[in-house]
């Protein structure tokens, strides 16, 4: 007896395909539900991973750079210029230009994605630190806080709203740019979009697009929540 071939049928599955799939209608909900686990869930996770790594590394770099620029003013201009330069490279080009250097890998995508987060995160962190009221600083020093204690217990908490606002913008920007990263085949929700550009399969276009939009909006909302939780005093002041 011949074992059934364990190969996934090419989409759309002609034998079993619904009328909706055969006519390539705009959005076949049944197909989306049936194929979510196989086609979209892994891409969604990859997308979250791409974004989290990029924002994480980008934040580590920008935060360090902002602290340096905060204490040594000359550092601001060169770093801001570099970050602004990186930010003007069109992402479609950036991803491709990394390929000869680091290959068709996640590393290539991450280098570009991290580069794009720097400008926003650096500027927001530095602005946040600089807008700490002078009174708070003077009071803290008068209470005998050391430089380090001042930074950790007064300046950083007061700069937190600006920092989290930066993380929020950086995150939604990265989610958007990570869809383009699939151009060099590193997965994420851009992958089904580029597949669909090849096949013209409309349901895949709409499903992947909607998932990416949803991911961005949910991430945005979660970060607003985080901002509120981390800085309850900001809301109290507004009320």
> Of 3-11, 31-39, 146-154, 210-218, which segment contacts other proteins by CB under 8 A?
210-218
Binding mask 137-176 for other proteins (x = CB under 8 A): --------------------------------x--xx-xx
Q: What contacts 27, CB < 8 A, 6 or more positions away?
A: 202, 203, 206, 207
How far apart are CB 170 and other proteins at their closest, in Å? 11
What DSSP line would sit under 47-63, residue for residue? HHHHHHHHHHHHHHHHH
Give residues with Cβ within 8 angstroms of 217, minimum separation 6: none
Rounded Cα–Cα distance for residues 204 and 186 (Å): 18
Place of tokens 């930066």: 166
Q: Which residues, 22 to 41, sit near other proteins by CB under 8 A?
A: 26-27
Q: Where does this chain touch other proteins (CB under 8 A) — which range of 6-14, 80-88, 140-148, 228-236?
A: 80-88
When the beta carbons of 61 and 140 are compared against other proteins, the nearer one is: 61
CB 78 within 8 A of CB 138: no
Please count the residues of this chain forming the interface with other proteins, following the rule CB under 8 A: 47
The least CB distance from residue 139 to other proteins, in Å, is 28
């Amino acid at each position: 007896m011949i074992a059934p071939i364990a190969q996934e049928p090419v989409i759309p599955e002609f034998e079993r395909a619904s009328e909706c799939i055969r006519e390539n209608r705009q959005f076949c909900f049944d197909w989306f539900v049936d194929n979510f686990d196989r086609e979209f869930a892994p891409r969604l996770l990859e997308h979250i991973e791409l974004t989290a790594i990029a924002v994480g590394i980008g934040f580590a770099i920008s935060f360090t750079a902002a602290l340096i620029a905060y204490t040594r003013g000359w550092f601001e201009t060169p770093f801001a210029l570099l970050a602004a330069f990186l930010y003007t490279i069109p992402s479609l080009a950036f991803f491709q230009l990394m390929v000869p250097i680091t290959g068709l890998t996640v590393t290539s995508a991450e280098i570009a994605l991290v580069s794009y987060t720097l400008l926003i995160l650096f500027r927001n962190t530095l602005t946040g630190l600089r807008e700490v009221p002078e009174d708070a600083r003077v009071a803290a020093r008068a209470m005998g806080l050391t430089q380090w204690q001042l930074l950790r217990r007064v300046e950083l908490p007061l700069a937190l709203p600006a920092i989290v606002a930066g993380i929020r913008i950086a995150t939604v920007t990265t989610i958007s740019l990570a869809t383009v990263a699939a151009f060099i085949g590193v997965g994420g929700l851009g992958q089904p979009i580029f597949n669909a550009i090849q096949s013209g399969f409309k349901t895949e276009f709409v499903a992947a697009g909607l998932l990416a939009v949803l991911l961005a909006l949910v991430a945005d909302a979660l970060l607003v929540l985080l901002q509120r939780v981390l800085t309850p005093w900001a809301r109290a002041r507004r009320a």
